[in-house]
Each structure stands twice: as structure tokens, then as C-alpha cells.
Structure 1
Amino acid sequence: MNLNAIVDTINEYLWGYILIFLLVGTGLYYSIRLRFPQVRQIRRGFKQTFGGIFKKDVEADKDGMSSFQALATAIAAQVGTGNLAGVATAIASGGPGAIFWMWISAFFGMATIFAEAVLAQVYTDRVDGEITGGPAYYISKGLKNKGLAIFFAIAIIIALGFVGNMVQSNSMAVAINNAFNIPKVVVGIIVAVLAALILVGGMTRIANFTELVVPFMALIYIVGALIIIIKNASYIGPAFKMIFQGAFSTKAIGGGVLGVTVKEAVRFGISRGLFSNEAGMGSTPHAHAVAKVKHPSEQGLVAMVGVIFDTMIICTLTSLIILTTNAHTTGTTGAEMTQIAFSNGLGKYGAPFIAISLFFFAFSTIIGWYFFGEANIKYLFGKGGVRYYRWIVFGFIVIGSFLEVQLVWDIADMFNGIMVFPNLIALFALSSVVAKSLEDYESKL
């Protein structure tokens, strides 16, 4: 068996079975233990998120960033190619019913991401004077297990900081090359330069960038999506019917995905949903750790809003565009299916729109994933290692723009899955810390 086959087999079991049960199980456990905070406290979560959005009394510096800036940085990483290509893959492989199970994964994932944000807040640390945090820190300080923390740090640096950013760069380069015929390597160099202008400014510039760009890119995409959906309003009802019928169908269904059953709908819906919103994967806690809040549970509530935005809004809009334009019947998958859907909905403006959207989604993900990797570089090597990490990331961005080796992408998926395990061990072992935090917060309301 060659390396490709080994990695494929590992990913098949990781993302097809093991992680689905572990991640959904973690969300179910926390939902029950915390008495469904995603229902009881979601109104307060929105108030906490948007209540002070226009206040400038909290500035990003070495002591952290505002709660909204932390959420924007987390969403920058969450909303990426998975919201465009990932949704299409879920529909192609699991049928329209996969979208329902994507919603289910998001619902339980909200409880998981609440726990991650709380732990990240409780176990923050200072490295060379700068506040930082994330799973490596709460594994090391909370579990007292430095070996497991080091394992997580190495896995996430490889999965997101290095190879993951190659994937994002490649997605941008391909889309822009198709829409505007700009050479891929030129796109990669431009992206690396733009990223450098932001990243050399440290936490302050990253926070200011995500705070400005994330709401803008979201608004542009939502408006474009709604134009298509409203134009095809008569198909909205049938689209939801396909989603709910496909979610519970015991027989193979027809359409663009012949032979799809509820088993595939569950598998691909949940796996793509979790991959998109990253709940339980240990990535977004790095952003939530540095939020300047009065109580750890406040940022936990804000983190739940991020899952709603990523999966319930952006992914749902993408799925409705695909279903109302019948792009799911074309026999395509991934980004190609999404591009066809936008071309059907916006005509000649479809390809440029999806290219521009993908640019913002992927570029913001590069910034977010870089930030997550940097927190772990600080954990392993201190602040001195950041300058070397930064230049390696820039190199991967350029290389990724023109080099697509499927094995490299598959290895990224594998490390993405592997890094979940130490994070989930910490989430279960430190669940009492999360429960006490929420109990203390609610007692003070």
C-alpha cells in the first residue's frame, strides 16, 4: 500500500466515522451538562456580540482585543472555502438531506465551541508580555500534560498554518485565474504581500483587519445570495422539501445524486458542517482566548454566535443557491457546482462574483489560520520563533497558488483530524471548569 492509499484510508475512517461520533457526542454531552446554553442563552449571546460593536473603548494591544474583534478573527477562519465548496460536496455526496444534518451538527457544535472559548479564557497565558491562549495552553495548564499540548501545537501548525494556507491560496488562485485569467503564481505573490502587510502588524493589525473585512465580506455574499434566491423564489419551498425528505429517506433518492440514502446524508452533512464551523477542532479558541471580557462565559456565548453565522446563515444560503438553481443535478461537485449555481443565478456576473467572494473568504481564513498557528509557535518557541514562522507561511502561500498535489491536501485533512483528539480529551477532562464558569456567570445575572 502506497502513501496516498494509507492517508486516504486514515481520512476515510477519521472524517467518515470516528470524528463524527466524537465531535457530535461532545456537543451532545455539553448540551446536556450545561442545560442547552445554545437555547437558553443565545439571546444574551447576540446582545454580548453586537451590543458594543460601535464602541471604541476597547482597543487591540498586547493585552488582547475586543470581544467582537475576537469573534471576527474566529469567523475569518471559520468562513472559508468550506462554505462554498464544502456545502456543494456535502450535497453531491449526501444529497440535499445532508444540509439538515449540517444544521444538527451546528446546533450541538454551539455547546462545544462555548466550552472551548471558556477554557481558552480561563487558561490564558503571557508569552514575552503578550496575552495568548488556546488548546495547547489549557491542555498544558489544565490537564498538566505538556506532551499532549506539544502534540496539538505541532499538528495545528502543520494543518492550518502551513499546509492549510496552501489550500486556501490555491482555491483563490484557481477561481481568480478562471474568472480574470490572471496567472496563478501572480495571485499567490499578491496574496502573500497583502498578508504580510497585515501580519507584520501583529495582533493589533489583525484585529483591525478582521473587524472591518469580515462584516463587509459577509454582507456582500449575503446580498448576492439573496438576489439569486429571490429570483428563484418559487423553488425555495421545493428546496426545503428536498432537504427534509432527504434527511430521513430510508430509500435511495433520485436527482443529481442517485443512490444516496439517509446514511450518506448524515455522514456528509455532519462531517462537512463540523469541518466548516470548526466546533471541537481546537482552532477558534485561539481567537476567543485573547478577548477582553469581564467573565469567561461571556466569550463562550459570543463563540456560539460564530457557529450560527458560519453554518446556519452562510452555509444555508449556499445550499439554497445550489438547490434553487438546480446546480445539484449537473453531476459536478465542490467549487465547480457552486460556480455553476452562481452563473445560473447571476449570469455573466456569476463567475466574477464567486471569485471575489472566494478571495475574501480564503484570504480572511489565511489571516485567521496564521494567527492560530502563531499562538502555538509562541507556546513551543516563544515570541522569537514568530519571525521564522511568518516567512515560512508566506512561502507556502506562494507555492500553494500554483502547486496542487492531492497528497498534500489529504495530509492537511489528516492533521486536521489528528489535532482534534488532544482537544477533545481536554474538553471532557475539564468539563467541570466549564460548568462552574457558566453557573457562576448565570448566578451573577
Structure 2
Amino acid sequence: MGDVVGFLNNFFWGPWFIYGIMLIGLFFSVITRFLQVRHIKEMFVLMFKGEKSEKGISSFQALAIALSGRVGTGNIAGTATAIGMGGPGAVFWMWLIAFIGAATAYVESTLAQIYKEEKETEYRGGPAFYIEKGMGQKWFAVIFAVAALLAMLILMPGVQSNAIAGAMNNAFGIDNWIIGLIIAILLGVIIIGGVKSIANAAQVIVPFMALAYILMALIIIVLNIGEVPGVIALIFSSAFGAQEIFGGIIGSAIAWGVKRGIYSNEAGQGTGAHPAAAAEVSHPAKQGLVQAASVYIDTLLICSATAFMILFTGMYNVHDEGADKVQVMVDGEVHKVDGEPYEIYPTIFTGEFGKDEYTGEAQVSYAQTIKEGAAYTQYAVDEALPGFGAPFVAIALFFFAFTTIMAYYYIAETNVAYLFSGGAEKIGIWIAKIAIIVAAFYGTVRTSDLAWAMGDVGLGLMVWINVIAILIIMKPAIVALKDYEKQKKEGKDPVFDPTKLGIKGATFWEERNKK
């Protein structure tokens, strides 16, 4: 199992794909004239406008569901892993992929709004819908829908639940299977209510925990205010291999920064496009801009909060993927014993170092061996606020990761609705509910390495298919942006008319305009 997952992981995340994703994000940034800068104020204003309807949810609820998916274990454990495997420079590459990824998020979410459909009780949309209508290739849309079901129901929920279990076990000593049972019960209660229930839960939980987590990071920054310039300089210098100790891992910094950045902010993955389609708006570009803002919130705020908390401790690791061991960092320097770097593999290691007073051999006192990135973040917070780090991060991670699993279910349900109709759809939805509950429980009891590897496979599968699609059918999203900007200049509240703009296949909007 591990060998198969490893092979697929290497295939999906080869160097050409890592750099390709960056180039595609840059391309969308250029073609939209860097909307993520020009419309930054508009992004945040729009998220609080728009009301929910009988079949649609509000812009803020759609944002909350999207953030539920984006803000998860990737922000806590994933950021720690990126630093551990790629050094502090990985943080810079996470920032960069978020900046250019905001344009990608706009394109996919606007396409989802343009090509959404009105079902009996709610709006549905996402990559499968815009691939069929925009490309006219139903077979390709079906492939995405199947890939999304595989990723959302089987491969990716375990990453979130595994991180929850690890953090809770580290903080409170609760057995993993008990945590798995709690997750399964809570998840079942919420997802039975469908998209409205998920939206109502997300709009309360996500803002509260995001603000609490950022506030915690700000407190730690204030306590270490004198170190801020040094940490920022460290991130930038190590990102380009300017420092000798990081010079050999610039490739790892880019790879892990981009991989964990995409895992966290999901730009290009197509997941944020699903809730974007469910929003009640007068123009598709409105929700596209709101979803672009969600990438900023996810990475530039929450991932950065984690990164600063870790780097302020001065204890982190640099893992050269071509080597067998990890160099242990203490107070920002490679620790040495008798002139040689002290190394340990495969765990992330923290502690104090010295020599045995009798034998003279290297000795580690106050040793702590940490395998999960979440526990690494717990240690970092505990350094600043003793006794508070482990429980706070465990609770934050519980809410972040749990809401992500909720978002995964919503995405899976949307793709079931695309593939089936009538009685088959109802049966498919119940199977999806059972599958994600089982996968979430199983994730709590399997190894974290396998959980992350399977999650990366699921992520890579969706990104591959979605990015190819949006590159082919991006034109309507660009036309919609220009139309939105034109109407705003004229002082209007923009409304969308696909027929006037020459956009075909936007049946929902065509029917709405007729009415």
C-alpha cells in the first residue's frame, strides 16, 4: 500500500508539475492584470454583501464553506512539515503560491458560478459542471467527478482526522480511537442536514477559530517583537539558498512550500469552486473575487501565524531529501557534537544538548521526539506560553480540521449530484455520508506518513484534471471580470447577461434573465 501511494505521489508531484502550477498561477495573474492587487478592497467588501435565498447561500456562507476546506491541518501541521522538510524558505514559497493562486481561485470560482445549475432544493456547480458545459466534454467531467469522490471520501479525510487525533493525544492523552468515534458522531449529525446545515455550522465555527488562532499568533509576535525582522530576513534569505546551511535544499524549499501551499489554500484544486457555485449573487465575478480573498486569509494570515510561532522558538529542522538524516536546529543554528552536526532520523526532534558527565558522550536532556507537524506547532506555542500550547493548538486543529472534513463531504455530495439523479442520487448521497464517516474514523488510527501521502495523491489527482480544464475554458471568467469592471465604472451594481457577452452554456443565467 505504502509503495503504491509513494509511486503515485512522485508521479503527481514531480518537479515539472510543481513549477507548472506556479507558472499557471502567474499566467492567470498576468491575464487578469493582477486582480488580487487591483481588487483587494473589493474582495473583502463583497464577502459581506449578498443575502441567502431559498436555493442559494450568502456570499459569506459560501466563503465560510470554502474556508472550511482551505483552513485545516495544512495550516498547522502542513506548515510545520514544510518548514521541517524545506527549511524556513518554504514559507516564502507558500506566500508566493498564495499570491498568484488567488488569481487561479478567481478563475475557477467564477467559472463555477457561470455554469452552475438550479436543482430542486439548491444550486449546484463546480469543475465537473463547468468542464461539461464549457468544454463540451462530458467524459472529462465524469473523470473529475470520480476523482473528486475518490479524493474527498477516501484519500483526504484521513489527513485531517489523523492530525486531530495526534494533537489531542499529545495534549490530553486521549486514545486515537476515542477521538475517531467523536469525529464520526459529530460529522454524522452535521452532514445529515446537507449544504444548509454545513453552511450554518461553518459560518459560526470558522471565523471564531481563525480569529482566535491569529490572536494567539499576534500575542506570541508581540512577546518576540524584537525577533520579527530576523525571522523575516531568515525566511527570504533561506528561500533562495543565500545561507550556507540552506543552500543545498532550495529545491526542497520550493517543492514543499508549493505542495503544502496548494494543500492549504487549494487554489487550482477546484474544491473552493463547489461552494462558490452555491452562492446567491447577481454576477459571477462577485463570488470569484470573494474566493480569491479566501486564499489570502488561509495562507497569508493563518499559515503565516503558524510559521512565525515555530520560527520564534529557534528550533526547527532542515531535511535534505537526498540524505538519510535531519540536522537538528537549536536557536537557529545546526547543533554540533564534537564538531559534527547532531542528526536524528526520521523524527522532528527538539531538546537540549550536552555531554554525559561520566562518559563524555553526547547526551540529550529534556528530549522530545515529535513525528507530527501539529505536535511541533504545539511545542512552539508552549515555548512562548508554557502549559498552554498543546491544548490550544489541539482545540484549534480540531475545529479547523473537522470543518475541512465537512467541506469535503459537501464537495463529494455535489459530485454525486452531478453523476446521478433521482433515486440513484439519494442512494449515492447516503453512501457518500457513510464512506466519509468511515474514512475519517480510519484516519485517526493509521500512521501519519501514510495519511499525508494518500492526501497528496488525492490532491494531485484533482489539481491535474482541474488545471487542464480551466486553462482551456478560462475565457468566460476573463470576459466576466471585464464586464464586472465596466459596470462598476458606470456606477451600477453589476448583473450578468451571458447572451450579451457571447458566453454559451450558462443555462442558469439565461433562464434567470428570461424570468
Q: TM-score, normalised by structure 2?
A: 0.80
Aligned to 1:29: 27
Separation in 1, partners of 2:144, 2:417: 13
Secondary structure, in 3 states, of the residue corresponding to 1:348? coil
Deviation at 1:129, TM superposition (A): 4.3
Cα distance change of structure 1 residues 264 and 408 upon mapping to structure 2, 3 Å threshold: closer
Cα distance change of structure 1 residues 397 and 145 upon mapping to structure 2, 3 Å threshold: same
Contact 1:325 1:344 in 2 (8 A): yes
Contact 1:155 1:416 in 2 (8 A): no
Separation in 2, partners of 1:266, 1:292: 38
Deviation at 1:407, TM superposition (A): 4.3
Aligned to 2:436: 393
Identical-residue share of aligned pairs (%): 42
Between Structure 1 and Structure 2, the one with more strand by share is 2
Separation in 2, partners of 1:428, 1:251: 37
Cα distance change of structure 1 residues 17 and 391 upon mapping to structure 2, 3 Å threshold: same
Confirm or deny that 1:285 pairs with 2:273: yes
The residue type paired with residue 244 of structure 2 is: A
Aligned with residue 374 of structure 2, among 332, 335, 346? 335
Aligned with residue 462 of structure 2, among 419, 422, 428? 419
The residue type paired with residue 265 of structure 2 is: N
Residue by residue, what CA displacement relative to the aligned partner does 1:278-335 show, whole Å, maximum 9, x if unpaired?
1001111001011111100011110111011000000111111111111313654722
Deviation at 1:186, TM superposition (A): 1.7
Structure possessing the higher radius of gyration over alpha carbons: 2
The residue type paired with residue 391 of structure 1 is: I
Deviation at 1:339, TM superposition (A): 2.0
Confirm or deny that 1:117 pairs with 2:109: yes
Separation in 2, partners of 1:118, 1:14: 26
Aligned with residue 151 of structure 2, among 141, 153, 159? 159
Contact 1:327 1:338 in 2 (8 A): no
Separation in 1, partners of 2:449, 2:235: 31
Aligned with residue 15 of structure 1, among 13, 16, 21? 13
Aligned with residue 58 of structure 1, among 44, 51, 59? 51
Deviation at 1:214, TM superposition (A): 0.7
- Root mean square deviation of aligned Cα: 1.9
Confirm or deny that 1:403 pairs with 2:443: no
Secondary structure, in 3 states, of the residue corresponding to 2:442? helix
Contact 2:153 2:435 in 1 (8 A): no
Aligned to 2:284: 296
Separation in 2, partners of 1:311, 1:409: 19
Aligned to 2:407: 368
Contact 2:162 2:448 in 1 (8 A): no
Deviation at 1:101, TM superposition (A): 1.4
Separation in 1, partners of 2:91, 2:268: 19
Deviation at 1:13, TM superposition (A): 4.2
Deviation at 1:128, TM superposition (A): 4.3
Deviation at 1:250, TM superposition (A): 4.6
Contact 1:185 1:398 in 2 (8 A): yes
Contact 1:169 1:397 in 2 (8 A): yes
Residue by residue, what CA displacement relative to the aligned partner does 1:194-235 show, whole Å, maximum 9, x if unpaired?
112211111211111111111101111112112222112221
Deviation at 1:408, TM superposition (A): 5.6
Separation in 1, partners of 2:3, 2:442: 24
Aligned to 2:190: 198
The residue type paired with residue 38 of structure 1 is: Q
Aligned to 1:243: 235
Aligned to 1:98: 90
* Structure 1 range deviating more: 339-348 or 313-322: 339-348
Aligned to 1:357: 396
Contact 2:122 2:278 in 1 (8 A): no
Cα distance change of structure 1 residues 272 and 47 upon mapping to structure 2, 3 Å threshold: same
Secondary structure, in 3 states, of the residue corresponding to 2:475? helix
Aligned to 2:383: 344
Aligned with residue 420 of structure 2, among 368, 381, 401? 381
Deviation at 1:166, TM superposition (A): 2.1
Separation in 2, partners of 1:236, 1:5: 42
Residue by residue, what CA displacement relative to the aligned partner does 1:51-91 show, whole Å, maximum 9, x if unpaired?
x3xxxx82364x12000100010001101111111111111
Deviation at 1:246, TM superposition (A): 0.9
Contact 2:158 2:439 in 1 (8 A): yes
* Structure 1 range deviating more: 222-231 or 110-119: 222-231
Contact 2:241 2:250 in 1 (8 A): yes
Separation in 1, partners of 2:140, 2:455: 19
The residue type paired with residue 454 of structure 2 is: I
Contact 2:375 2:390 in 1 (8 A): no
Contact 1:60 1:203 in 2 (8 A): no
Aligned to 1:253: 245
Deviation at 1:433, TM superposition (A): 0.8
Contact 1:106 1:308 in 2 (8 A): yes
The residue type paired with residue 417 of structure 2 is: K
Separation in 2, partners of 1:213, 1:172: 16
Cα distance change of structure 1 residues 60 and 403 upon mapping to structure 2, 3 Å threshold: farther
Aligned with residue 77 of structure 2, among 75, 78, 85? 85
Greater relative contact order, per chain length (Cα 8 Å cut-off, separation 6+)? 1
Contact 1:133 1:290 in 2 (8 A): yes
Confirm or deny that 1:132 pairs with 2:120: no
Separation in 2, partners of 1:70, 1:350: 31
Secondary structure, in 3 states, of the residue corresponding to 2:271? coil
Deviation at 1:107, TM superposition (A): 0.9
Following superposition of structure 1 onto structure 2, how do residues 133-282 of structure 1 map, counting pairs within 5 Å? 133-250=125-242, 252-253=244-245, 260-282=248-270
Deviation at 1:162, TM superposition (A): 2.5
Structure 2: stretches of 5+ with no match in the other structure: 317-328, 331-347, 350-370, 489-515
Moved over 4 A (4+): 405-409
Contact 2:153 2:439 in 1 (8 A): no
Secondary structure, in 3 states, of the residue corresponding to 1:35? coil
Contact 1:132 1:290 in 2 (8 A): yes
Aligned to 2:297: 309
Deviation at 1:4, TM superposition (A): 3.1
